Amino acid sequence: MKKVLLGTTALVAAAAFTAPALSAERLQLGLRGYHVGGIAYTDVDNDGSDANEINFGSDSEVHFRGSTELDNGLKISFRAELELEDNSDVDEDADVVDEVYIQVDGGFGRVQFGQQDGVMDQTHVAAPRIFQRHYANDPNMDPFRPYGLRNRINTFGEFSGDDIKIIYFTPEMNGLQVGFSYTPNPCKNDTGYSGCVYDGFARNYWEVAGTWEGDFNNVSFGLSAGYGQGESDSPSEPHDPNELTLGAEIGFGGFTIGGSYALKETGGDHDNQADHWDIGGTYETGPWTFGLSYAYADGDVDMGGAEDDEQSSFLGGIRYAYGPGLAIGLGVQTLDIEDGGENEDGFAVFIEHSASF
């Protein structure tokens, strides 16, 4: 699979660059990004921490973006993301610099190279989201973290993360698009090749994913599916991690309803596995958005070989867009964790303010 992918990508790139570029403007960089601030009141049963019931939080990034179009029709783009907060407490693999990659678009499709999410993550369709960074599925701002709890429900294919990879997307044909990505080793944010060292979890990680979008009688449809698999031969690490994802969405009027599923396995005999899924809907009218979602996971949710556990989370709320890129919302979220016969419940009310620029 990886040989076919690399060979296909090489042919595409060679064909793209053989045409003369002639004159073109130098790539120009601009700034984009977002800032999200949150205020949360959280109550947790069986809480052994000394965390406050009221907490403030934020999540902000500055994005450096630039593009230029050559006379042969190729569009060359660059993107880098700078995280403005230290996220290491939530994600031990977090970095100050996030995605850094270059992209080439043309009649052949799209090629990306660098620190970028794999095709499974980029194309996944999940339950529609009300807020910018508070979610029941794969949350970025989790109000239960100060209490030692962590919502690990995640239907996105993210085993390859932002590690350096090569990615190819076909042109869209009748709403259908397919993508392939290949990550030889888990490495990022290191000069040259110094950080590209096998860490025992997965190497030669390849992914294939596809999406379809269509409309019929003023009803929109979206579907996604993906599969990824890597290699591991370390006796102290999980073997041959793989993940399967599915998603669907339907929209009509101001309503959007959708859901997704993921099966994640990290054992040589697939003995460490978990099922994740979510479902939800939103209604948008003018500047107002209302929504409700539910997410659930069952099995070895943290993929660490621990006892089977279950996690579930409800999230509902209302969001008001009061200006271009500006919104404020009020939400309610629950988290229920059962691990090894022990149960912990959490309830949170939060306000999220988001500014995109």
- For each of the domains in the chain, give its residue range(s) and CATH number, in order of start: 2-33+62-280 (2.40.160)
Lowest mean pLDDT among 68-72, 109-113, 161-165, 338-342: 338-342
Per-residue confidence (pLDDT) for residue 237, from 0 to 100: 57
What digits encode the pLDDT tens for the residues 193-248? 877 877 667 889 999 999 999 999 999 999 999 999 998 876 555 568 899 999 99
Per-residue confidence (pLDDT) for residue 23, from 0 to 100: 55
- The secondary structure of 263-305 as a DSSP string is EEE-STTS-SEEEEEEEEEEEEETTEEEEEEEEEEEESTTSSS
- The secondary structure of 205-224 as a DSSP string is EEEEEEEEEEEETTEEEEEE
Query: What number is the average pLDDT over the span 331-351?
Result: 91
What digits encode the pLDDT tens for the residues 242-284? 999 999 999 999 999 999 999 999 865 546 889 999 999 999 9
Whether 119 contacts 181, CB under 8 Å: yes
Per-residue confidence (pLDDT) for residue 186, from 0 to 100: 85
In whole angstroms, give the CA distance from residue 135 to residue 302.
18
Per-residue confidence (pLDDT) for residue 26, from 0 to 100: 87
Which residues have CB under 8 Å from 126's CB, separation 6+? 137, 155, 156, 247, 258, 259, 260, 278
Per-residue confidence (pLDDT) for residue 200, from 0 to 100: 67
Query: What number is the average pLDDT over the span 78-87?
Result: 89
What digits encode the pLDDT tens for the residues 158-180? 999 999 999 999 999 999 999 99
pLDDT over 70 (residue 187):
yes
pLDDT band at 2 (very low <50, low <70, confident <90, very high): very low
